[in-house]
Amino acid sequence: MNATAFRRGTVVGLMLACSMALPPTHAQHAVRRAIDGRPDVTVDLRTRAGAARVDGRWRYSDASLERVAFNAPGPDRKPSGPRVETLDLPAKPGTAGFEQAAWTPIDAASLEDRRGTGKISFAWYRFDLRIPEHIGAFATAGSTVAFEIVVDDYAEVWVDGRLPRTIGQTGGQLVKGWNAPNRVVLTHDARPGQSIAIAVFAANAPLSDPPPNFIWVRSATLDFYARSSSRSGEALRVLRADAALDAIVPPETRLEKLADGFLFTEGPVWVPDGYLLFSDPNANTIYRWADGDGLSVFRTKSGYSGIDIGDYKQPGSNGLAIDPDGRLTINEHGNRRVTRLEKNGVVTVLADRFEGRRLNSPNDLVYAADRRLYFTDPPFGLPKAFDDPRKETPFSGVYLWSGGRLQLVARDLTGPNGIALSPDEKYLYVGNWDEKKKIVMRYPVQADGALGSGAIFCDLTAAPGEDAIDGVKVDKGGNVYVSGPGGLWIFAATGRHLGTLQPPEHVHNFAWGDADGMSLYLTARSGLYRVRLAVAGPRARSMTLQ
């Protein structure tokens, strides 16, 4: 991405030759309904009738901390130091001790009764339910079900013995705030007879100044949203250059706008724990978006915090990727480095110099299955780009990081930008942000990870529009997606132009996501969008904390 290039072009149908085709596949899908509006049915779990509608029962137990042995922080910032004593809960959902605890059945109508011991105290509420076939005239099959609870004062919600512990998550199942609602999507595809176990950990708060009151439940509901009978969102403008595009982008494909108001969206990556991360390099922020949770800040000062930050147009992070071990890797523009966020929150610098010179501003990146990391390094994150006096590396390179070693594998492009591997990892695609040479190169990947001589995969220089090549991705069928002048271009693996998607805003980058990998998330100028396709993309690994 070029920091100065915010201009939109138009598209022409170019039939361009390249190599290797894999037939695309087609899959049907059920579109999920948004859950930020009015539900079709609400069940009040504080009433006996409401709990009975879902065959639910409430139970309660006081919770207390116990002293346990642990380790102090070691040089690696992990618990590898001397033995210490700390506090822990003796039993948690999913453990035998939790199941065997002394639980007291409680009436749904008694949830407002004060419980706990006051001051700094903790409690567990349990609610086991079964999805009925009908709630009144409402058929539950295929519906989205959300559980919402407001505990006086703090709460965490476990579902079927699981609690997300992902870096940067706010709200949702974790503590969201004082007397704030915890809203959790239980399922997007409810099945009659499906059993769900909910455990709510409650705390009297504020913890640093405990009040003279007790724990109680202000609100507890289930919201049901009917399966949508048609695709949500607006019609997506598609220029079809080849009938084969129908197997990738079926007719009547819809476009959802998920969020807006950003300065410049980039670098999306889907985390299989159920959320999307993406960068706003201008705002120096990584955002998190998830169905049910909506938008939140994942990481502030994501690329730079220097005193001269006012000189930078794009000081923040750009490309994001999940490595084969489920760790987030970040290209930091202002810091001019590639870092990895470990699952314990520690930041590891993977690369910041080549042959003693600082990198320019790492832009986009992609992992191979064997943990080899490829990334591009144009100077677009520097305040004056190519003419910036801070620039130390005299060329714009494509690099390979493997086993702690950084290797330059290509330097034949003026503005290497988007980068992607073919499904068999035999080829590496690299887009060029250069308004005089809008090309995507394809390089053969050698056994040691180095690149052979590259060839032009597609050339969009003649296409009207001033945007050059930004994001590049490849789906499981080998089709290549290119952010170029006038929209998101889709090519067969042979290089045949199949068509172009034209959302309302120019697409900078994109990533596949959702549980089935069939949704393409688009970071497009000031907005975040989602479109369902008929071909899945590559999958990432979980980022669950250790």
Angle at 263 between CA 257 and CA 269, to 5 degrees: 60
Residue 495 DSSP symbol: -
What are the CB-based long-range contacts (under 8 Å, 24+) for 234-237? 236/501, 236/502, 236/503, 236/531, 237/501, 237/502, 237/503
- Strands 416-421, 519-524: pairing is unpaired
Whether residue 182 contacts residue 132, with contact meaning beta carbons closer than 8 Å, is answered with no
**In the chain, % of residues over pLDDT 90:** 76
Across residues 405-413, what is the average pLDDT?
A: 97
DSSP 339-404: EEE-TTS-EEEEESEETTEEPS----EEE-TTS-EEEEE-STTSTTGGG-TT---SS-EEEEEETT
Classify residue 364 by burial, with Cβ atoms within 10 Å: 0-12, 13-18, 19+: buried
Confidence (pLDDT) at 19: 29
Q: Could you give the CA distance from residue 411 to residue 28 in angstroms, rounded to a whole number?
A: 42
Angle at 345 between CA 297 and CA 261, to 5 degrees: 10
Structure tokens at 235: 């019609």
Minimum mean pLDDT range among 324-338, 489-503, 528-542: 528-542
Indicate the residue type of 388: D
Confidence (pLDDT) at 490: 98
Per-residue confidence band for 173, with pLDDT thresholds at 50, 70 and 90: confident
- Only one residue has tokens 């706010």, namely 170
Per-residue confidence band for 225, with pLDDT thresholds at 50, 70 and 90: very high
pTM for the model stands at: 0.80
Q: Over the stretch 242-253, which tens digit does the pLDDT of each residue have?
A: 999 999 999 999
- Only one residue has tokens 């959902």, namely 93
Across residues 207-228, what is the average pLDDT?
A: 91
Q: Could you give the CA distance from residue 201 to residue 101 in angstroms, rounded to a whole number?
A: 14
Residue 545 DSSP symbol: -
SS3 419: strand
| Cα diameter, the chain | 75
Minimum mean pLDDT range among 176-190, 323-337, 431-445: 176-190
Structure tokens at 115: 């419980």
Residues 6+ apart with CB under 8 A from 175: 154, 155, 156, 182, 203
| pLDDT higher than 70, residue 6 | no
Confidence (pLDDT) at 415: 97
Q: How many CA atoms lie within 13 A of 250 on its CB side?
A: 15
Classify residue 38 by burial, with Cβ atoms within 10 Å: 0-12, 13-18, 19+: exposed
SS3 535: coil
| CATH code for the domain defined by 41-225 | 2.60.120.260
| pLDDT higher than 60, residue 15 | no
Across residues 299-308, what is the average pLDDT?
A: 93
| pLDDT higher than 70, residue 44 | yes
Across residues 47-74, what is the average pLDDT?
A: 96
| pLDDT higher than 50, residue 365 | yes
Q: Which of 537, 513, 510, 514 is nearest to 525 (CA)?
A: 510
**CATH fold match for the domains 41-225 and 234-532:** no
| pLDDT higher than 60, residue 157 | yes
What percentage of the chain's residues is helix, strand, coil (to nearest 5)? 5, 40, 55
Per-residue confidence band for 85, with pLDDT thresholds at 50, 70 and 90: very high
Confidence (pLDDT) at 17: 31
Mean pLDDT of the chain: 89
Confidence (pLDDT) at 232: 63
- Only one residue has tokens 């690099």, namely 399
DSSP 157-224: EEETTB---BTT--STTS--STTPPEEEEEESS--TT-EEEEEEEEE-S-TTS--S--BEEEEEEEEE
Q: Could you give the CA distance from residue 180 to residue 164 in angstroms, rounded to a whole number?
A: 18
Instruction: Name the phi and psi angles at 119, rounded to 5.
Output: 50, -140
Whether residue 84 contacts residue 71, with contact meaning beta carbons closer than 8 Å, is answered with yes
| pLDDT higher than 70, residue 433 | yes
Q: Could you give the CA distance from residue 127 to residue 186 in angstroms, rounded to a whole number?
A: 13
- Name the residue ranges covered by the structural domains of the chain: 41-225, 234-532
Angle at 11 between CA 10 and CA 15, to 5 degrees: 160
Angle at 256 between CA 299 and CA 531, to 5 degrees: 90
CATH superfamily, domain at 234-532: TolB, C-terminal domain (2.120.10.30)
